[in-house]
Amino acid sequence: MIDVLYFAWVRERIGLPKEKVETSAATVADLVAELSAREERYALAFSDTSALRVALDQDLSDFDAPLAGVREVAFFPPMTGG
């Protein structure tokens, strides 16, 4: 079971900020494929992963990164701080 978090327009498209997901996905890309297969709103949010960023346990990572041992995955658009 991992915590999956969504921010900014990803959160708005999916319609929730956080959920627990039971998954055996090996990589972030596998998790994205699983979520996208669930419902249209997920497919829409994940339709272009080049427009998204991912953090694993609060560190920026990549979509091909393994999920083994990861407790928290976050998806969000490119950051606009400052």
Partner 1 sequence: MRIVVQEPAFDIGAETAAFASGRHDMGAIVTFTGVVRDDTGTLDHLEIEHYPGMTERAITAIADEARTRWSLGDVLVIHRHGCLAPGAPIMMVATCAPHRADAFAAAEFLMDYLKSRAPFWKKEVTRDGAAWVAAKDADEDALTRWKG
66 sits near partner 1 (criterion: CB under 8 A)? no
Determine which residue in the list 2, 43, 55, 65 makes contact with partner 1, applying CB under 8 A.
55
Question: Which residue spans within the chain are E strands per DSSP?
Answer: 2-6, 18-21, 53-56, 59-61, 72-76
Nearer to partner 1, 3 or 37 (CB): 3
Q: Residue 43, interface with partner 1 (CB under 8 A)?
A: no
Site membership for partner 1, residue 58 (CB under 8 A): yes
Give the C-alpha separation, 14 to 54, whole Å. Answer: 15
The residue count for binding partner 1 (CB under 8 A) is: 17
In one letter, which amino acid is 79? M
The answer to whether 44 contacts partner 1 (rule: CB under 8 A) is: no
Closest residue by Cα to residue 71 from 53, 56, 52: 56
